[in-house]
Amino acid sequence: MAFELTRDDLRDLVRGAALLGTGGGGDPSIGRTLVSEALRDGRSVTIVSPDELDDDDYVVPTAFMGAPSVLVERLPGGTEAIDALRALEAHTGQRATATMPIESGGINSTIPLFVAARHGIPVVDADGMGRAFPELQMETFAVYGVDGPPLAIADERGDTAIVDTGSDNKKMENWARVLTVQMGGVSHIAAYGMRGADIRRTAIPGTLSLALALGRTLREAREQHRDPMGALKDALADTLYERGDVIFTGKVVDVDRRTVEGFTRGRATIAAFDGDASCTIDFQNEFLLAKVDGRTRAIVPDLVTVLHMETGEPITAESLRYGNRVHVFAISTPEMMRTPEALRVFGPSAFGVDEDFVPFEQLPVGSHSSVVPEKEVAE
Amino acid sequence: MAFELTRDDLRDLVRGAALLGTGGGGDPSIGRTLVSEALRDGRSVTIVSPDELDDDDYVVPTAFMGAPSVLVERLPGGTEAIDALRALEAHTGQRATATMPIESGGINSTIPLFVAARHGIPVVDADGMGRAFPELQMETFAVYGVDGPPLAIADERGDTAIVDTGSDNKKMENWARVLTVQMGGVSHIAAYGMRGADIRRTAIPGTLSLALALGRTLREAREQHRDPMGALKDALADTLYERGDVIFTGKVVDVDRRTVEGFTRGRATIAAFDGDASCTIDFQNEFLLAKVDGRTRAIVPDLVTVLHMETGEPITAESLRYGNRVHVFAISTPEMMRTPEALRVFGPSAFGVDEDFVPFEQLPVGSHSSVVPEKEVAE
């Protein structure tokens, strides 16, 4: 059902979006800042459900592309994504009737909100990843037959390019990526333009309202001194994601992080507060694989998230630091992201992880999974 | 005046174009092969003079972009430039009434001929460099106010991109360059679409018919055992280029050539047959600067060309080899390429050459400039 998103909702929404971003998706404060400005003076954005779209509505997702760390240094003027959308509209000769996110994440859940507020169109409550992924072909849209091209890409000067690689979404990603690098590491894009009927068939529905609900859940649990992890688990039960649980709790004792070909890659190691148990998390922008004592506990495309134990705030792979006291919380991904055709595009092998995907709920529970020292619980 | 170009003309045309390519512009045999196929069965291409265009004719130059050495290994299917032209036509909503070269050179003088033969449009007898240059902003079109963007670029699969950087031709070059690298080092483009009136104002006229005449001159001199260099000098006298002369003759004794950032850079050294005189030629794809005994004899944008002494065939910087017996022949560039605004775009400093431009005809003649050993003359 359609609802109005106001400035007051933003903080909750980006918190939940950052959680679904599974360590990637960029610093939520950037997206919040951008949209907050657009929603001043009581303005709101209309969020519509996929069910409310007409079959022939023309919906164009908008997004930021590139290195979030660069975006921090070069705050977007805000109009880049709109420039991209307009360039695509001019190229296709079609006016977008709505926009939507391509992924859930701190930044890319918010870019379409900004575009919508400025462009005077609604945002569809759905996206094409239901989490964050590093590349543009990793979309349920693509898995279920919607072409990414033509893609429009804009830089901070309003200069644009149109990439048309037919049905080759990976090639579209490659071309857009080199243009993004040429633009200084940051660009904004409009791609995967599609009909309302295609969205109902290919998108993960409800992810914006889910992000809002999860972000609110975490805040309220903190305010009411309830267990945020239990609240999160309960909040997921009635959604497409269904299952979520703490798989480890401890202190970050090592983060090996390097930038390779524009990606942030590495491994974080977390030690239990009692005993010898430890958890490793491999990441490439997003957290991909969590193991406890060497045994796999959650693997992409299931969601591996890391939250501050004290505040319940999600932590990105970029900002994870030695000494952070954290919960590692796994979430089962929606079924449409676990099909064989989906796993071919964004299963473990797409990230060079040499393990088969096993649903999180079928993996064994570790013995040291969620031991919290008593003084922590008391806080 | 309009004329029909036939298959029989091709060999002369590419020879002359390679000469104007001043060491760059790629292997002439590739362009010849491509067009030869399109002109089978007595078909011809109409070459029209800029004077014959209507003011509002829409002319779209077409070209190859990238590393000629890669093109040799990956022969174009031929349709890439047409794909680029069609993509630009679709994007702008305008049908091209003619095409033309962006530069004179072994390959890029021929690409528009192929496009014209297949697309059923004429080729304008003009281009935007009057020689070859390595980058897309180095155009008289650009110098005199025609924007390069929007540019269309196509790969060998028919996938395309549109680059629209407004009036920023250098940025257009940068974006098209990274796309070309991503495409494997070779692309085809359509850019600098303009009106007939703009061509008359900004293009170097008559360069295709000049290439044909110069190529024919070299062949006929060889066939008639006349001095090809003298014939070349005579042939240039009545053209916009006016002056040409041998500035050195000798044997290539060293070629220091390396590939830097996609460009072929280096220096060739030529030793006189008698005495100690030597000539150095610095190049970046094209020959840029010729010195005899350390004194500058010709400098970009004037044309430095190198021809086989025995055959009168132009030699590219890529194919120049130790032991080649050569004439170094300098040609004064047309006046519209020597203006202050032109020199800012493609004068010596644009190539990192730390010398002011001095017209070739004002530079001193070296004492060892054209000594040919008697046995060579006798051949």
pLDDT at residue B259, as a whole number: 80
Q: Match 């920023």 to its residue by tokens.
A: B168
Answer whether residue B36 shows pLDDT above 60.
yes
Yes or no: domain B227-378 corresponds to CATH 2.40.390.10: yes
For residues A296-311, give the mean pLDDT.
96
Residue B324 or A372, more confident: B324
Q: Do B181 and A179 touch (CB under 8 A)?
A: no
Q: Do B159 and A181 touch (CB under 8 A)?
A: no
The DSSP-derived string for A75-116 is ---S-HHHHHHHHHHHHHT---SBB--SS-STTTTTHHHHHH
Answer whether residue B98 shows pLDDT above 60.
yes
Which pair of structure tokens corresponds to residue B147? Answer: 């924007």
Confidence tier at A374 by pLDDT (50, 70, 90):
very low
* A260 at interface of B, judged by CB pairs closer than 8 A: no
* A162 at interface of B, judged by CB pairs closer than 8 A: yes
Q: How far is A236 from chain B (nearest CA, A)?
A: 42
Q: Match 């997004």 to its residue by tokens.
A: A63
The domains of chain B are located at 3-205, 227-378
The CA distance from A220 to A226, in Å, is 8
pLDDT at residue A372, as a whole number: 52
Helix pair A10-20, A207-223: axis angle to 10 deg: 110
Answer whether residue B29 shows pLDDT above 90.
no
Residue of B128, B138, B125, B338 lying closest to B213 (CA atoms): B125
Q: Do A178 and B182 touch (CB under 8 A)?
A: yes
pLDDT at residue B367, as a whole number: 46
Can you tell me whether residue A29 is helix, strand or coil?
helix
Answer whether residue A367 shows pLDDT above 70.
no
Q: Do A91 and B91 touch (CB under 8 A)?
A: yes
Centre a 10 Å sphere on the Cβ of residue A238 and count the other Cβ atoms it contains. Answer: 9
pLDDT at residue A38, as a whole number: 83
* A1 at interface of B, judged by CB pairs closer than 8 A: no
The domain B3-205 is placed in CATH, from the list 3.20.20.10, 3.60.40.10, 3.30.1330.10, 3.40.1610.10, at 3.40.1610.10
Answer whether residue B373 shows pLDDT above 70.
no
* A182 at interface of B, judged by CB pairs closer than 8 A: yes
Report the run of H or E that residue A306 belongs to, with start and end: strand A303-308
Confidence tier at B75 by pLDDT (50, 70, 90):
low
Give residue-wise pLDDT tens across range A182-214. Answer: 998 889 999 999 999 999 999 999 999 999 999
Per-residue H/E/C for chain B: CCEEECHHHHHHHHHHHHHHCCCCCCCHHHHHHHHHHHCCCCCCEEEECHHHCCCCCEECCEEEEECHHHHHHCCCCCCHHHHHHHHHHHHHCCCCCEECCCCCCCCCCCHHHHHHHHHCCCEECEECCCCCCCCCCCCHHHHCCCCCCCEEEECCCCCEEEEECCCCHHHHHHHHHHHHHHCCCEEEEECCCEEHHHHHHHCEECHHHHHHHHHHHHHHHHHCCCCHHHHHHHHHHCCCCCCEEEEEEEEEEEEEEEEECCEEEEEEEEECCCCCCEEEEEEECEEEEEEECCEEEEECCCEEEEEECCCCCECCCCCCCCCCEEEEEEECCCHHHCCHHHHHHHCHHHHCCCCCCCCHHHCCCCCCCCCCCHHHHHC
* A170 at interface of B, judged by CB pairs closer than 8 A: no
Q: How far is A172 from chain B (nearest CA, A)?
A: 9
pLDDT at residue B263, as a whole number: 79
* B182 at interface of A, judged by CB pairs closer than 8 A: yes
Give residue-wise pLDDT tens across range B277-297. Answer: 999 999 999 999 999 999 999
Q: How many CA atoms lie within 13 A of A375 on its CB side?
A: 3
Angle at A246 between CA A245 and CA A247, to 5 degrees: 110
pLDDT at residue A29, as a whole number: 84
Answer whether residue B377 shows pLDDT above 50.
no
Cβ atoms of B104 and B25 within 8 Å: the answer is yes
What is the phi/psi pair of residue A19, to 5°? Answer: -60, -50
Q: How far is B92 from chain A (nearest CA, A)?
A: 9
Q: Give the A:B interface size as CB pairs under 8 Å.
A: 48
Q: Do A161 and B158 touch (CB under 8 A)?
A: no
Q: What is the mean pLDDT of chain A?
A: 92
Euclidean distance between the first and final Cα of chain A, in Å?
Answer: 38
pLDDT at residue B372, as a whole number: 52
* A168 at interface of B, judged by CB pairs closer than 8 A: yes
Report the run of H or E that residue A261 belongs to, with start and end: none
Q: Which residues in chain A have their CB less than 8 angstroms from residue B182's CB?
A: 174-175, 178
* A261 at interface of B, judged by CB pairs closer than 8 A: no
Give residue-wise pLDDT tens across range A245-261. Answer: 999 999 999 999 998 77
Centre a 10 Å sphere on the Cβ of residue A224 and count the other Cβ atoms it contains. Answer: 9
Q: What is the mean pLDDT of chain B?
A: 92
Q: Do A164 and B164 touch (CB under 8 A)?
A: no
The CA distance from A113 to A63, in Å, is 10
Give residue-wise pLDDT tens across range A217-241. Answer: 999 999 999 999 999 999 999 999 9
Q: C-alpha distances in angstroms, A127 versus A12, A89, B320?
A: 18, 20, 57
Exposure pattern of A352-374 as b/e (b: 16+ CB <10 Å)?
ebeeebeebeebeebebbbbbee
pLDDT at residue A377, as a whole number: 43
Confidence tier at A44 by pLDDT (50, 70, 90):
confident
Q: Closest residue of B to A181, CA-based?
A: B178
For residues B218-242, give the mean pLDDT.
95
Per-residue H/E/C for A166-202: CCCHHHHHHHHHHHHHHCCCEEEEECCCEEHHHHHHH
